[in-house]
Amino acid sequence: MAEPRSRRSVLAVPGSNPRFVEKARRLDVDAFFLDLEDAVAPLEKEDARTTAVKALADGGWGGKVRSVRVNDVSTEWAYRDVVTVVENAGAHLDALVLPKVTAARDVHWLDTLLTQIERAMGLPVGRIGIEAQIEDAKGLVNVDEIAAASPRLETLVYGPADFMASINMKSLVVGEQPPGYDTGDAYHHVLMRILVAARAHGLQAIDGPYLQIRDVDAFRRAAGRTAALGFDGKWVLHPLQVEAANEVFAPSQEDYEHAERILDAYAHATTVDRRGAVMLGDEMLDEASRKMALVVAGKGRAAGLRRGRSSESFEPQD
């Protein structure tokens, strides 16, 4: 399987605002999406499609993962968002973000429509991925069937703002603990549920936005929590949040090099020495250590980390 694309930082760009689109080109994010949904007023929806198509077709996005968030399947805008964007800029698009997914049938709808457009336009069938946002109680209850709904799926994305509204959470501060809840993490179940469903189906898990955009320390704390659980990245809404996301969701250089050393040592042990367990310094390694190291090394490689001189070669030890 190809290594997944890096999505440590996923920039939300209002699709109706050419000035923001221009700014987004210069930011050092792994991925971005041009938003046709909640950041765009109903009367601006049509113009936003045109702006998004032009932004994609003009190029200049470097190696960033290019997505568009269309409106959800219950709206009158959704089908035309997909048709306009993919017919006119399908070759310059990596994925569509589908918000407010409540069941597998929402993903089936988008998968089928994409296939029809790709065929009609002579685009490679199946290249454009789908990112499914889980942002209400129904979506969470059905998250397993959603995660299994299409080979186009690349990520499950947690939508905290809509989710908090959907379950009537008593707070208006997106991403922070609701006042009055003083034991544990009020979001742990939701985050873990999404993460486990994503992993069970080989998808990336992406955390949604943190809305207090000037409080970078708070962003870093919120991102640090989901990164620690295993999430692959987080939406960013402002240039101030970009560096923090890129740092928090990449392994440290030290952890990355350590993971590469574990892989080397374990490969040597199992293939040359024919042993299933081996010592690396004071650390005992077995097959489970290899799997954990593979995750850290994979995230590090995807984030562009490379081995320093000190860890280039592995010296077998007794």
Interaction between residue 175 and ligand GLV (CB under 6 A): no
Distance of closest approach, residue 135 Cβ to ligand GLV, in angstroms? 5
Which position among 14, 129, 139, 160 is part of the footprint of ligand GLV (CB under 6 A)?
A: 160
**160 binds Mg ion, rule: CB under 5 A:** no
**Whole-angstrom distance, CA of residue 125 vs CA of residue 83:** 15
3 state SS of 44: helix
Q: Helices 78-89 and 104-121: crossing angle, nearest 10°? A: 30
By CB under 6 A, tell whether 176 contacts ligand GLV: no
Residues in the chain: 318
Choices 18-26, 160-168, 250-258, 264-272 (CB under 6 A): range interacting with ligand GLV: 160-168
User: Hey, which bits of the chain come out as E strands?
Assistant: 9-14, 31-35, 65-69, 95-98, 129-134, 153-158, 204-207, 233-236, 278-280, 283-285
Give the start-end residues of each E strand in 15-170: 31-35, 65-69, 95-98, 129-134, 153-158
When binding is defined by CB under 6 A, the residue of 14, 129, 139, 209 that contacts ligand GLV is 209
Candidates 15, 159, 160, 209: give the one binding Mg ion (CB under 5 A).
159
Binding mask 45-84 for Mg ion (x = CB under 5 A): ----------------------------------------
Nearer to ligand GLV by Cβ, of 36 and 259: the residue is 36
Say how many C-beta atoms besides its own lie within 10 A of residue 316's C-beta. 11
Residue 162 lies near Mg ion (rule: CB under 5 A): yes
By CB under 6 A, tell whether 135 contacts ligand GLV. yes
Strand ranges, E, within 75-201: 95-98, 129-134, 153-158
Determine how β-strand 31-35 pairs with β-strand 278-280.
unpaired
Question: Binding segment for Mg ion among 7-15, 84-92, 156-164, 257-265 (CB under 5 A)?
Answer: 156-164
Residues at the interface with ligand GLV (CB under 6 A): 99, 133, 135, 159-162, 208-209
